[in-house]
Structure formats: structure tokens, C-alpha cells
Amino acid sequence: MGLRFTVLASGSTGNCSLVSADTGGVLIDGGLKPTDMLARFAAVALSPLQIRAMVLTHTHGDHWNDGLLGWLVERKVPLYCHPSHHHVLLRSVNFRALRVGDLVRDFHSNEEFNLPAGLRCLPVPVRHDGGATFAFRLTGPSDLFGSAFSLGYAADLGVWDEVLLNGFLHVDLLALEFNHDVTLQRQSSRPAFLIERVLGEHGHLSNDQAVDFLARLLDRQGIERLGHLVQLHLSGECNRPALARKVARNLFEQRGCSIRIHTGQQDIPLKPIEIGPLPKKRSVREPHNRLMSQPQLPGF
């Protein structure tokens, strides 16, 4: 069974993506107001009624929204987060309501767990200054032969390591941070402390760091499996979509890859990217929309 991946928003003012199978979907982060999230769903002709859960990467304010937690409460949709996230989220009356309603589920580093809609999730710890922060490997339902499609999602990290590399081997889609161009970052008008924070090991991945990760991944697994690269969390001030795409395209041309490049945007959702075959029959709650992906843009 295939998967569908949709970036609803990616950038410093709100992050939210959807991973869905034919039986339902899961939000990765919820950094949008409910009205904005619903508008993004409408823009790509998908139904929010398919949402069965939300998983949280970390507690920076652009990754969760109190109003969206209230939307989860109203619809009895569970939130999956790390135990250390609770002390920040408890500031939210809606998170407290989720706990009262037994709708909070804890996950733990490097321990795969089951999500609704037949999805499995492996949380991989990454270095970032937002407290406990995680990348996710999500795997869809298996087909009759035991095969399943998977994707890797890593949006906020200062460096990558072998643990993340091993966690993302043989994914079909890689959603990876391409936050900044180092030269543009150093030449920006930002305060020195902010520049050093972004460039540090607990900041954000540069274009070059992201490409280094991709090169190492291709070295380990070959070029056959990975079909899509989705660039996340681009800085509006210190990056350009064309720059991010160029460095990735150069690598793929050198390796003889035909990997498709998609670039997430802050204000406009990416059209859904389909990974593998999805059944033609759709439930009433999830309209059929086979939309082609297209490059877009984002912001820090």
C-alpha cells in the first residue's frame, strides 16, 4: 500500500505536514491555527477528517499551536509526544484537556511505535536547541507480500549523525531541512548571536550539510530506492529556493539519479506527493485526488 505526503506549511512561522495512507492520516507537527490548517487542506483538495493522530517533533512555538490542540480535543484525535515535552505543553489549557481526555500518548527515542491508519513511526533524536527534538521515519501498511513504503522527516537539526543516517536508510521519500546558505547567513543583517545559533550544532542544517547527508545516504543504499526529496524549513532571508534545488540537483546529476525535488513553502502547501500505488477506491471521508507534486518555496 502506498503513502501520500503533503507539506501544509514549512518555515519559521509554522510547520505542519500530513502523512496518509488509504485508511487515514497523521499530522507531523501542528504549528498552524485551525483555520489556516483547514484552508491548506482545502487548497490541495484533501479532507482533514482523515487525520487520526498528530506527532510532535519538539516544542518550539512554530511546531505546535494551542488552537490546533483544541481542534484535536474536539475531534478526540490523540497527540503523540516525548515525555519531556509535557512541561512546556502544560502551559496550554488544550494540552491539559488532551491529558484529561486520555488523548496524550508518549513515545521514546529509537523505539518504534504504532500510529492509527496502520502507520509505524520510529523517532530518531537529533540535535536542536528546542529541548528533546526528533526526526521521524514513518512506514505505511504492508502489502500482501509484506512490503511497505516509508519516508524520513527531519526538519530542525544542527548536524546529522550516523544514528539518523541508519534510521533513514532505504526510505522512498526524504523530507529534509535545507535551512540556509552559509554565505547568505554570514552576510545577513541578523544579530551575531542569531547567526552563530543557526550555524551551530544545535541550530539548523545548511544546504551543504543537507547535501552531505544525501550523498552519504546514497553511498550506503545506492540510488534505486529514493524517489523524492522534499526540502524543508528554508530561510526566507538566508536561502533561496533556486540555491537549495541547485545543490541537490548537482549531486543527483553526479550520481545519475532521477530523484524528484520538491521545495516546501511557508504560506502555500505543496500538492500531495504519492509514494507507491494507492487504491483507486476512496472512502467518503477522503476524496480521491491524485495530484502531481511541484516545486515551491519557504522561510526560516
What digits encode the pLDDT tens for the residues 183-208? 999 999 999 999 999 999 999 999 99
- Strand positions, DSSP E, the chain: 3-9, 16-21, 24-28, 51-55, 79-81, 104-106, 113-114, 120-126, 133-139, 150-154, 173-177, 228-232, 260-263, 273-275
Cell, residue 13: 512561522
Q: Judge whether residue 119 has pLDDT over 50.
A: yes
Cell, residue 194: 542569531
Of 7, 46, 18, 29, residue with least CA distance to 297? 7
Beta strand pairing call for 104-106 and 51-55: unpaired
**For range 219-228, the mean pLDDT:** 92
Where does the chain have alpha helices with state H? Answer: 34-43, 66-75, 86-89, 93-100, 162-167, 182-187, 192-199, 207-221, 241-255
**207-222 pLDDT, tens digit each:** 999 999 999 999 999 8
**233-264 pLDDT, tens digit each:** 999 999 999 999 999 999 999 999 999 999 99
Rounded Cα distance, 114 and 5, in Å: 18
At 242, the amino acid letter reads: A
What burial letters (b/e) apply to 39-66, b meaning 16+ CB within 10 Å?
ebbeebebbbebbbbbbbbbbbebbbbe
pLDDT-above-70 percentage for the chain: 92
Domains by residue range for the chain, with CATH: 3-275 (3.60.15.10)
pLDDT band at 278 (very low <50, low <70, confident <90, very high): low
